[in-house]
Amino acid sequence: MPAEFPPTGRLLEIACDESGSEGEKLIGGNTDVFAHASVRLSAESAAECIRETRNRIRSPATEYKANHLLRGKHRAVLEWLLGPSGPILGNARVYLIDKTFYAVVKAVDLLAQATAAERQAMALTLHREGPRTYGPQRWTAFLEAFNDLMRGRTSADSFFQLVEDFPPDGRVGEIMGLLGQGRERAGSFLAQLFDGPGLDPLIPAIAQAVVHWGAGGKAVSIVHDETNTLTEERIARLKETFAPSAPDGPPRGRLSGFQLVDSRFDPRVQVADFLAGVARKIASDELNGRGDAELVALLRPFTDSSSVWGDGRSWSLLGPEVTVRLAGM
C-alpha cells in the first residue's frame, strides 16, 4: 500500500488508540509500559489491512486484538504488519512511556525548583540510582506514596514525612532533600488536582501525536477509541493548547477536531489498537531484559523519539536515537 499524504491544505485525520492505560495508577498496576499509537491511513486502506490480517490469521474471533498477533503461531503475520512489505510503515507512530520513570519525572517536575535541564538530570539520577541507594522495596514505597498523593489517596503530611526520612547521603539523597522542600508547590497543585489530567499519560501522548503529525503547522483531527478519561473538558483543553500559534511563533500542529469512536466500527482505530498492543508488549519485554531482538528491530522505526523512557540499555534498541529523551513534561 502506498504512503498516504493528503493534498496541501487538507485536514490530516489521524486514528489513535492506547495500550496499558490504567488512568493515574502508575505504580503497582498490571502493566509497566504505556503505548499510544497514531495511524495515518484512509478508511479503505485500514479496512484492507484488517482483511489481510484476518486472512493470514484465520481466527473465528469476531474482533481481532493485538493478542492475536502476539501468539507464536502468528509470528509471521506480526512481522508482516510491522515490516517493510506491510501497510503501516511510514504511516504510524508509537509513543512509549515507562510508567515508573514517568512517575519519577512527575515527582521531580512538581517538587523540585530547578530548570528543565536540571530536572531531567535529577529524574534520570533518581530513576537509575534510587533503587540501588535505598533498596528496591523502599524505593517502590516512595513511588507508591507519590502516586497515591497525586491521586488524593494519602495526605501531604504522610508523603513528606516519608521523604524526610530518606538519608541525605550522596547525590540521590541531595535530590530527595530538594523534593522535600517542594511542599508548597505540591499544595498549589493539589488544590486544583481534579481540574487537570494529573498523572494520566494519555493526555501528553495525544499531545505528542498532534505535535508529530502537525509538524509545520498542519491542521490535525484526531479519531480516538472511546475512553472515560477523555472527558469533554480534557478534549477542550487539548484544543485550546493547540490553537493557531502566534504569527511570530514557531509553527506547530493545530488540533482542529476530536472524535471518540467505537474501535469495532472504525478500521483505522483497529489498526492503531493492533500497533499499540504489540508495541507495549515488545517494549515491556525489552525493558525487563527478555526482549525479542527481531521484533524490537521491527518496532524501532515506529517509536517516537520523544517517548518517556529512562533505561538507556533498552532505549538504545527501542528508540530511533541512542540518547534518552524526555517529552511532554
How do the domains of the chain map onto residue ranges? 100-195
Q: Which residues face 223 on adjacent strands?
A: 15, 259
Please, which residues have CB within 8 angstroms of residue 209's CB and are 6 or more apart in sequence? 14, 16, 36, 38, 93, 95, 220, 222
Closest listed residue to residue 188, CA positions, set 240, 103, 111 = 111
Q: For the full predicted model, state whether its pTM sits above 0.75.
A: yes
Comparing 148 with 249, which gets the higher pLDDT?
148
Q: What is the mean pLDDT of residues 273-294?
A: 98
Poorest-confidence range of 51-60, 142-151, 194-203? Answer: 194-203
- Burial class from Cβ neighbours inside 10 Å (0-12, 13-18, 19+) for residue 102 reads buried
Quote the pLDDT of residue 328.
39
Mind listing the pLDDT tens digit for each residue in 9-21?
468 999 999 999 9
Residue 191: count of CB within 10 angstroms of its CB:
9
How confident is the prediction for the chain on average, in pLDDT?
Answer: 89
Quote the pLDDT of residue 320.
84
Per-residue pLDDT band for 60 (boundaries 50, 70, 90) equals confident
Q: What is the mean pLDDT of residues 154-178?
A: 94
DSSP code for 260: E
Strands 219-225 and 254-261: parallel
Mind listing the pLDDT tens digit for each residue in 238-249?
998 888 764 555
Quote the pLDDT of residue 196.
53
What is the spatial distance between Cα 49 and Cα 270, in angstroms, rounded to a whole number? Answer: 10
**Percent of all residues in the chain with a pLDDT value above 70, rounded to a whole number:** 90
Q: What is the mean pLDDT of residues 113-135?
A: 96
CB 163 within 8 A of CB 110: no
Comparing 91 with 3, which gets the higher pLDDT?
91
Quote the pLDDT of residue 247.
56
Residue type, 22: E
Quote the pLDDT of residue 1.
35
Is the pLDDT at 185 greater than 80? The verdict is yes
What is the spatial distance between Cα 45 and Cα 27, in angstroms, rounded to a whole number? Answer: 38
Q: What is the mean pLDDT of residues 20-24?
A: 94
What is the spatial distance between Cα 155 and Cα 174, in angstroms, rounded to a whole number? Answer: 23
